[in-house]
Every structure is written in C-alpha cells, then in structure tokens.
Amino acid sequence: MQLKRIITSVFLVICMCLAFCFPVYAEAATAYSSAESISPLYDIANHVMSELAVIGTKADCKSYASGNNVAKITVEQTLQKYSGWFWIWNTVDGASWLKTVNGLSVNLSNTKSGLSSGTYRLQSVFTLTDKNGKSETITVYSEEKVIG
C-alpha cells in the first residue's frame, strides 16, 4: 500500500510539472537590412530577399539577391504549403523554379494559380559564387500567407 502511494505521488508531481510547461515562440527574422533591424552578415551577398504575395488563390513569388565581386548567382525558388503535422512544409506541385545569372544580382518572379486553402511560404535558396571561386549558399523564407 505504501508503494502505491509513493508511485501515485511521484506521478502527480510529474503531471504538475508538465502542466506548467509553456510553449515559446520566436519572431522570424527577415534577411534584409533596415535601420531598425539587425541582418545577418554574409561573405559574398549584401542583400537577399524572398517575398510572397497572395491575392485570392494566386501566389506572386519574388526572389532577389545581390553582392559585390560576384561572378554567378543561382536561385531556386520553391512555394511551400504547411502540412499541419510536425512543422512540415511540402513543395506545391509545379511551383519550383530555378535561375542562374552571370552577374552581380539575380531577380526571379513567378506566379502560381489555383491554390487551395492553407498556409504558404516562399523558400529561396541562393548560391553566390565570387570571382575567386568561393561560394556561399543562403536560404531565405518569406512571411507566411494564409489562403482561407
């Protein structure tokens, strides 16, 4: 009987400890610089952007990157939809684009129509290569947009 009370007491203490756990959220940082924010420091890139606008069931996707002493920039733009399970984002069918530019900047704009309801974001993966052959890869996400 004494063992049963001890086990019950331990179980109650564990339950009470778990009841006081609070989720913690962090605000997503943008990857561009402004006078009011802190931006990451990159070796080659000096500006990267991933922007998503939703109008009705259509998504406008924009990605931009620039740098100094850049020889080549590749951007892979992917529209993603939140699955709702375990923070998984799935690629939207037919909504992945690739562009390579030999120059100091890249700008890629695309649209995807006929989207179903849900939460979307744009993933932009930039690979910048400087004139010495050094490269860096930067992944930037847009703000999340909801289609109701």
Domains (range + CATH), the chain = 45-147 (2.60.40.1290)
Each residue of 70-88: pLDDT tens digit? Answer: 999 999 999 999 998 888 9
| Per-residue pLDDT tens digits for 29-64 | 444 333 455 667 899 999 999 999 999 999 999 999
3-state helix, strand, coil in the chain (%, to 5): 10, 55, 35
DSSP 8-class letter at 115: P
Q: Which residue has the tokens 């037919």?
A: 94
Task: Tally Cβ neighbours within 10 Å of residue 119.
Answer: 14
Q: What is the pTM of this model?
A: 0.73
Beta bridge pairs of residue 121: 80
Tens-place pLDDT, residues 105-121: 999 999 999 999 999 99
Q: Is 129:96 a contact under the CB 8 Å cutoff?
A: no
